[in-house]
Amino acid sequence: MTKHFKSIKLILGDQLNVKHPWFDELDNNVLFVLMEVRSETDYVKHHIQKVVAIFEAMRKFAEILCEKGHQVKYFKINDSDNQQSFTKNLESLSQQVRAQEIHYQLPDEYRLDEELKSLSEKIGLPVFPSESNHFLTSREELKNLFEGKKTFLMETFYRKMRVKHQVLVDSANQPIGGKWNFDQENRKKVPKNHHIITTQLKTKDCSEVYDDILKAGVQTIGNIIPTQFHWTTTRTEAIELLEEFVEKALPLFGTLQDAMTEKHWYLYHSRLSFAMNVKLISPLEVIRRVEKAYYDEPERYELNQIEGFIRQILGWREYMRGIYWAKMPEYASLNFFNHERKLPNWFWTGETKMNCLKHAINQSLEQAYAHHIQRLMVTGNFALLAGIHPDEVDQWYLGIYIDAFEWVEITNTRGMSQFADGGIVGSKPYVSSASYIDKMSDYCQNCHYKKELKIGEGACPFNSLYWNFFDAHQEKLKSNPRLGMMLNVWNKMEPDQKTNLLQQAAYYLDKIETL
């Protein structure tokens, strides 16, 4: 590249927002740069579908920019001039095109934020950060809202976001339908003989990207059929998926959002999280489209379906990002229960006799996806009951899920799932015995273990591990008002019953690799 440019503008792999102000006007003095680099593929072992999806989305995005007339430099993973580092590539490129300044959009991950902060010093050019214009809150908004508070209550934040953005509120800023939250109506399992009518998988061939990743020697996990790739990697595909979701899946989303079944891997979930997290589509346009469906056809779209979906985006998604920027980098080392055990090897293979875990893990390996209850109350539940180190859990979740970027993964995993933050995100540890899993799924029907047995041969491991957790952490849990009833149940048990449960749990933990 011999042409000279005044400005280089770096676009990260999760900043593929064609609606960003950067692209409003053509400027031949600006060179946009995108990079496939090993520093991003290798900081954790990612699912192969995740790496393919990001690279495919980046390449399509670069093509769109070129079609619009913008000047673009794209580093593919195997290009000879690719030094596999944002900083090194920017340094050599800026010298090559005689750039006078570098611009970047604020990254969403702390490690990249720190790296790009030092660009000016390393490269010797002025560097200008700008907003990504994607989220509905600033980095500091949640921190400022809860200034001086020990806990950051999501419901408080969510209601303020509803009013701020005028989502499902009336002229007096009161919630449509008289309630802010319809969560109680969204906890049903899939009914017997239910015919699932949901969005369809539309496939394409991503073999070229896949072959490049193999050639580069990137180490990944999980499975892929590159000729039948179904994740959305363009804005057009994302909008089409949103429309299909509204038409087919939204009418039952809320009611069955917590349900789990062997019969279908995504049920009525939208599969839009990856597209949103790489900025192909904005959260606000998704929210407005769903809100419009309710206002246009209130007889078809019940409010619990609409509010439940919007809460995941306007509530949880923005809330988790706010926690991340309020608490990093210390948050990444929190370990409230001092758990130290390693993650069992079968988390990487799915080879376990516990059917709920077998199904959720194999689904994750096959599809790079599991919905929030599978993550929270199956894999996360087991990891917490088994005393797995939060670092181990973080690495697994961050790597295996296509929508997992640290800003949203670590707060959900270390906070909500593992309670390693001691209650910043969740008001209690989310643990359960087999009864909850059976209540919300059909997993227990075909399991090697018996859901009703607490001790003895064939007893479900969740049952004894559940009580073992309360026994091990009584001192840290006794002041939690939401756990008083279960601690009382445990403390009132007969000594022999408690001993048997603890012995059963110890046996299972000792044999954890063979469960």
- For residue 323, give the CATH number of its domain: 1.25.40.80
Number of folded domains that form the chain: 3
Q: Rounded to an integer, what distance in angstroms lies between the CA atom of residue 3 and that of residue 489? A: 74
Range of the domain at 498: 345-514
515 residues of the chain, pLDDT tens digit each? 568 999 999 999 999 999 999 999 999 999 999 999 999 999 999 999 999 999 999 999 999 999 999 999 999 999 999 999 999 999 999 999 999 999 999 999 999 999 999 999 999 999 999 999 999 999 999 999 898 887 788 999 999 999 999 999 999 999 999 999 988 878 889 998 999 999 999 999 999 999 999 999 999 999 999 999 999 999 999 999 999 999 999 999 989 999 999 999 999 999 999 999 999 999 999 999 999 999 999 999 999 999 999 999 999 999 999 999 999 999 999 999 999 999 999 999 999 999 999 999 999 999 999 999 999 999 999 999 999 999 999 999 999 999 999 999 999 999 999 999 999 998 899 999 999 999 999 999 999 999 999 999 999 999 999 999 999 999 999 888 889 889 999 999 999 999 999 999 999 999 999 99
Same domain, 93 and 161: no
What integer pLDDT is reported at residue 153 of this predicted model? 86
Residue 234 backbone zone (phi > 0: left; psi -120 to 50: alpha; other: beta): beta
Q: Rounded to an integer, what distance in angstroms lies between the CA atom of residue 220 and that of residue 49? A: 9
Same domain, 276 and 149: yes
495 within some domain: yes
351 within some domain: yes
What is the value of pTM for the model shown?
0.95
Same domain, 148 and 252: yes
Same domain, 296 and 192: yes
What integer pLDDT is reported at residue 1 of this predicted model? 52
CB atoms within 10 A of CB 79: 14
The number of C-alpha atoms within 13 Å of 469 and in the hemisphere containing its C-beta is 26
Residue 131 backbone zone (phi > 0: left; psi -120 to 50: alpha; other: beta): beta
Residue 481, preceding peptide bond in cis (omega within 30° of 0)? no
**Residue 101 bridge partners (DSSP):** 7
**Greatest pairwise CA separation for the chain in angstroms:** 81
Q: Which of 86, 106, 130 is the last residue of a domain?
A: 130
Q: Rounded to an integer, what distance in angstroms lies between the CA atom of residue 190 and that of residue 64? A: 41
Same domain, 391 and 503: yes
Same domain, 312 and 417: no
Q: Which of 74, 104, 130 is the last residue of a domain?
A: 130
Same domain, 125 and 146: no
CATH number for position 73:
3.40.50.620
Same domain, 306 and 352: no
Angle among Cα 268, 315, 48 to the nearest 5 degrees reads 55
Q: Which of 99, 130, 161 is the last residue of a domain?
A: 130
- With helix as H, strand as E and coil as C, how does 231-299 read? CCCCHHHHHHHHHHHHHHHHHHHHHHCCCECCCCCCCCCCCCHHHHHCCCCCHHHHHHHHHHHHHHCCC
335 within some domain: no
241 within some domain: yes
DSSP states of 295-344 as a string?
HH-TTTS-HHHHHHHHIIIIIIIHHHHHHHHHHTTGGGG--TT---BPPP
Lateral strand order in the sheet of 101-105: 71-75, 30-35, 7-10, 101-105, 127-130
Same domain, 80 and 208: no
In the structure encoding, which two tokens stand for residue 6, read together? Answer: 């005044």
Closest Cα partner for 260 from 387, 373, 375, 339? 373
In the structure encoding, which two tokens stand for residue 96, read together? Answer: 């090559």
493 within some domain: yes
1 within some domain: no
- Only one residue has tokens 């998926």, namely 241
Q: Rounded to an integer, what distance in angstroms lies between the CA atom of residue 186 and that of residue 180? A: 14
Same domain, 234 and 372: no
435 within some domain: yes
Same domain, 311 and 428: no
CATH number for position 397:
1.10.579.10
Same domain, 214 and 66: no
Q: What is the dihedral of CA 333, 131, 145, 169, to 10 degrees?
A: -120
Q: Could you give the 3-state DSSP secondary structure of residue 9?
A: strand
160 within some domain: yes
